[in-house]
Amino acid sequence: MLKMDDQKAIAATVDVSVLYVEDDDKVREGLLRFLTRRFKTVYTARDGQEGLSIFTVKMPDIVITDIKMPLMDGIEMIKQIKQINPDTPIVVTTAFTEVSYLIQAIELRVDAYIKKPINKDDLFDSISKILKCVTRSKTDDTLLRNNELLRQISAFPVDAIIMADEAGKVYFWNKGAQRLFGYTEEEALEMDIHTLVAPPGRRDKADEGFFGKSGIGAVLGKTTEVVARRKSGTEFPVELSLSTLRYGDKWYALGTARDAAPKRQTQLPLQERHEQLKRMLTATVEAIGLALTGRDPFTANHQCRVARLSEAIVAEMDLSEDVIFRIKIAAMLHDIGKLRVPSEILTKPAGLTEVERALVKTHSMAGYEMLKKIDFTFPLADIILQHHEKHNGSGYPLGLNGRNILVEARVLNVADVVEAMSSPRPYRPSLGLEMALGEIAAQKGILYDPDVVEACLSVFEKDYRF
């Protein structure tokens, strides 16, 4: 790789115009800053159609492009650019899993293939080498160009790139494969790929996923994690992405592989840390609930019961574990704003006056104000703010309706009503579960989200009890 000083020197002495095509705004803006510091002129486009238009007018010296884009993808844009100027150097950037595009890139004779996330130094190094090659003779035949392209591609990523024929014999083996599996190119070529890298007990199964003369196999076009074997005999997990290429009258498998062990080691501590943070947050919320019990035991018990029912409803709706966790936390805090309502009103044995009722209604906004500045990983404050909004927009405090209300708030709204009606209050006895369920059934699609109501009724049909 070129040193940074060498890179700056090349950029300073070569007047180069670059067209960069990328539909992801964040990725495009990040790389644009890098490119504009190193090349005199940089054009950008958000899709292949826009990129082709710019190319036709500006005729840039080199094109850097993503593949999967709206309107016109990178492959189609490259085809049309090659029709306009076959000698335009093109660098393709795309994700690790998109192996099929690597094959199309080879067939279109692009000059380099950089995997995402993009290593900027590798990209600059690749462009610099391409620009040097542009000044050389371009009379190489097709086979030589394709073989050279394979070597250029294989030089940059740390991933193993391996090509094998339909009989499983290794046809191409890059430096990444040597680093990953321990065999040199000389040792690997013409060897059976499964004998070389598959553990003895897994070779038959590996061979089943390969392909025959049809070019079809069980794992083609997929990214899978498999167990592989190094030259030393040690077994380790590999992330493998495999596709096929027809060259002449033969099919070849083209695969990229990387060691999956570091990814596993990274994910495990992160997952453990995530679970630890969830336990800490749950414990903190429970402590707040205990504090509320001393001031207003009715509200504290109500929140716990609503939390349990809300979790059951969300599980019935088959929503994710993350949503279940969010609803649990939000439910245990949904009435925290009542800390700002005088306790004599909350525990008043008689009915409330209009003024007192209006004061109680402020608890949603009060809860929001109390929690909005805390940086939770989900919109807890907004859920609490919205838990008294109604499906038809008649709720408070914002008058939201339908899907404009967060799903967690829609669940809380139903669970809140069912628990409140079926439990005794200081000013009245319990109205009974049957009446509570009858209320949400009658107002389904009017006051309450119909999907949430159906899930709640189903929960109680399965003998759920507070």
Tokens coding 63: 């094109």
Residue 272 forms part of a structural domain? yes
Q: CA 197, CA 64: separation in Å to the nearest integer?
A: 35
CATH number of the structural domain spanning residue 335: 1.10.3210.10
CATH number of the structural domain spanning residue 200: 3.30.450.20
Q: Which of 222, 243, 259 is the last residue of a domain?
A: 259
Residue 136 has pLDDT above 50, yes or no: no
Average pLDDT over residues 404-413: 94
Residue 65 has pLDDT above 80, yes or no: yes
Residue 169 forms part of a structural domain? yes
Q: CA 287, CA 196: separation in Å to the nearest integer?
A: 58
Please tell me the predicted confidence (pLDDT) of residue 164. Answer: 83
The answer on 281 and 237 residing in a single domain is no
For the chain, give the percent of residues with pLDDT over 70. 76
Residue 466 forms part of a structural domain? no
- Provide the domain count of the chain: 3
The answer on 289 and 206 residing in a single domain is no
Residue 211 forms part of a structural domain? yes
Q: CA 290, CA 464: separation in Å to the nearest integer?
A: 25
Residue 199 has pLDDT above 50, yes or no: yes
Instruction: Tell me the range of 130-144, 169-183, 297-311, 443-457 where mean pLDDT is highest.
Output: 443-457
Residue 158 has pLDDT above 80, yes or no: no
What contacts 170, CB < 8 A, 6 or more positions away? 162, 163, 164, 188, 189, 190, 191, 192, 193, 196
Q: 433 pLDDT band (50/70/90 cuts)?
A: very high
Least confident span in 167-181, 206-220, 420-434: 206-220
Q: Which of 232, 259, 286 is the last residue of a domain?
A: 259
The answer on 453 and 381 residing in a single domain is yes
- 99 vs 91: which has the higher pLDDT: 91
Please tell me the predicted confidence (pLDDT) of residue 385. Answer: 94
- 389 vs 325: which has the higher pLDDT: 389
Residue 122 has pLDDT above 80, yes or no: no
Q: Please, what's the largest Cα pairwise distance for the chain?
A: 96
Q: Which of 259, 279, 300 is the last residue of a domain?
A: 259
- Label residue 248 exposed, middle or buried (CB < 10 Å: 0-12, 13-18, 19+): exposed
The answer on 213 and 290 residing in a single domain is no
Residue 41 forms part of a structural domain? yes
The answer on 166 and 150 residing in a single domain is no
The answer on 235 and 135 residing in a single domain is no
Average pLDDT over residues 211-215: 46
Q: 173 pLDDT band (50/70/90 cuts)?
A: confident
Q: What integer best gives the mean pLDDT of the chain?
A: 79
Please tell me the predicted confidence (pLDDT) of residue 225. Answer: 81
The answer to whether residues 256 and 105 touch, using CB atoms and an 8 Å cutoff, is no
Residue 185 has pLDDT above 50, yes or no: yes
Residue 80 forms part of a structural domain? yes
The answer on 360 and 248 residing in a single domain is no
Please tell me the predicted confidence (pLDDT) of residue 111. Answer: 79
The answer on 203 and 101 residing in a single domain is no
Please tell me the predicted confidence (pLDDT) of residue 207. Answer: 54
Please tell me the predicted confidence (pLDDT) of residue 447. Answer: 96
The answer to whether residues 62 and 40 touch, using CB atoms and an 8 Å cutoff, is no
Q: 97 pLDDT band (50/70/90 cuts)?
A: low
Please tell me the predicted confidence (pLDDT) of residue 12. Answer: 43
The answer on 449 and 300 residing in a single domain is yes
Domain that holds residue 170: 160-259
The answer on 268 and 187 residing in a single domain is no
Least confident span in 22-26, 201-205, 422-426: 201-205
Q: Model-level pTM?
A: 0.44
- Label residue 321 exposed, middle or buried (CB < 10 Å: 0-12, 13-18, 19+): exposed
Residue 135 has pLDDT above 80, yes or no: no
Please tell me the predicted confidence (pLDDT) of residue 1. Answer: 42
Least confident span in 119-128, 266-275, 369-378, 396-405: 266-275
Bin 275: left if φ > 0, else alpha if -120 < ψ < 50, else beta: alpha
The answer on 350 and 286 residing in a single domain is yes
Residue 34 forms part of a structural domain? yes
The answer on 203 and 177 residing in a single domain is yes
Q: CA 441, CA 436: separation in Å to the nearest integer?
A: 9
CATH number of the structural domain spanning residue 50: 3.40.50.2300
